[in-house]
């Protein structure tokens, strides 16, 4: 199936109350534009084509999940709805435009300062507390989905593969892999163990992100070898941060989050926050 794409004029015709500024990106059956609302707000407009019943259901769940979480660490949702674009049925999401860069961009300079790591960790735990209350699992926490605004605010984006714990899964029970991102996915995601998917799955990814911020390197990724990356995520225990010169408390927190068994990770975000608050950031 060819990728879905639209011209600026086609979008302007379908959304006459918006000023279409430029295209931000496209992939598969989704395209994103930077727009200005009639109230003068700069926003991001996501348009998804209804290509199949499954993709339509996933899009609806993504937009529903994004609308269920609130706070400074998420993009504000302005509108969710349906529209006909060039005669095709589409779903759309109009949300706050995040003026900034991704955490991946920051990682291009290598290991990050401890103060920055602390800020990212605190912000993500605050965001995950809201995700937990909404009975969601983000399932795709990675540097590409963590935006840093120009004012320093951390924003968690992209609920494209979020799991709604109160709803039936859209992934087949017989799928070899569950929805995931290589190098950040917890073992229960890789093994498609649906009953084990919980907020502790997001804590695993948080641990990986913190490890990568501290060392400048993802502990599981083998470039060009996704299968080896999955194998390492399942079986490899990377060197502890303490062995690399970081404080025992920071090392203990990250190791606990990255435990292969979800039962050995913090059971709730509240418990994870308590452990995070005990980290000694004065070392090394």
Contact 247, 280 (CB under 8 A): yes
What's the pLDDT score for residue 169? 61
Active-site residue identified among 5, 91, 99, 140: 140
Provide the token pair at 22: 């430029």
pLDDT digits (tens, 9 = 90+) for 114-157: 999 999 999 999 999 999 999 999 999 999 999 999 999 999 99
Instruction: Say if residue 174's pLDDT is above 50.
Output: no
Superfamily (CATH H level) for 100-277: Transferase(Phosphotransferase) domain 1 (1.10.510.10)
pLDDT the model gives residue 50: 85
Alpha carbons 108 and 105: distance in angstroms, whole number: 5
Active site residue 140: yes
DSSP 152: S
Judge if pTM exceeds 0.75: yes
Identify which has the larger pLDDT, 30 or 34. Answer: 34
Same fold, 8-96 and 100-277: no
Rg (CA), the chain: 19
Domain map (residue ranges) of the chain: 8-96, 100-277
Strand segments (E) across the chain: 19-27, 30-36, 42-49, 77-85, 88-96, 100-102, 136-137, 146-149, 154-156, 163-164
Return the CATH class of domain 8-96: alpha beta
pLDDT over 90 at 54, yes or no: no
């Amino acid at each position: 199936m060819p990728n879905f794409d639209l011209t600026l004029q086609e979008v302007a015709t379908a959304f006459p109350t918006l000023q279409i500024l430029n295209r931000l990106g496209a992939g598969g059956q989704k395209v994103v534009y930077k727009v200005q609302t009639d109230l003068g707000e700069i926003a991001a407009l996501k348009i998804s084509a209804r290509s199949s019943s499954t993709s339509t259901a996933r899009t609806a769940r993504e937009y529903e999940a994004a609308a269920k979480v609130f706070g400074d660490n998420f993009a504000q949702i302005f509108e969710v709805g349906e529209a006909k674009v060039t005669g095709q049925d589409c779903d759309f999401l109009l949300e706050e435009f995040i003026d900034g860069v991704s955490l991946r961009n920051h990682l291009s300079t290598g290991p990050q300062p401890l103060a920055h790591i602390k800020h990212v960790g605190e912000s993500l735990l605050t965001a995950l507390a809201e995700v937990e209350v909404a009975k969601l699992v983000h399932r795709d926490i990675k540097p590409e989905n963590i935006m840093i605004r120009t004012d320093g605010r951390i924003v968690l984006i992209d609920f494209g593969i979020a799991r709604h714990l109160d709803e039936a899964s859209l992934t087949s029970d017989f799928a070899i892999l569950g929805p995931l991102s290589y190098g950040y996915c917890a073992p229960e995601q890789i093994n498609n163990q649906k009953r084990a998917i919980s907020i502790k799955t997001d804590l695993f990814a948080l641990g990986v992100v913190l490890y990568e911020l501290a060392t400048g390197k993802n502990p599981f990724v083998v470039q060009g070898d996704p299968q080896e990356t999955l194998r390492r995520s399942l079986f490899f225990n990377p060197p502890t941060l303490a062995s690399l010169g970081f404080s025992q408390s920071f090392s203990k927190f990250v190791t606990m989050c990255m435990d292969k068994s979800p039962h050995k990770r913090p059971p709730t975000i509240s418990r994870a926050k308590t452990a995070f608050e005990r980290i000694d950031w004065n070392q090394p």
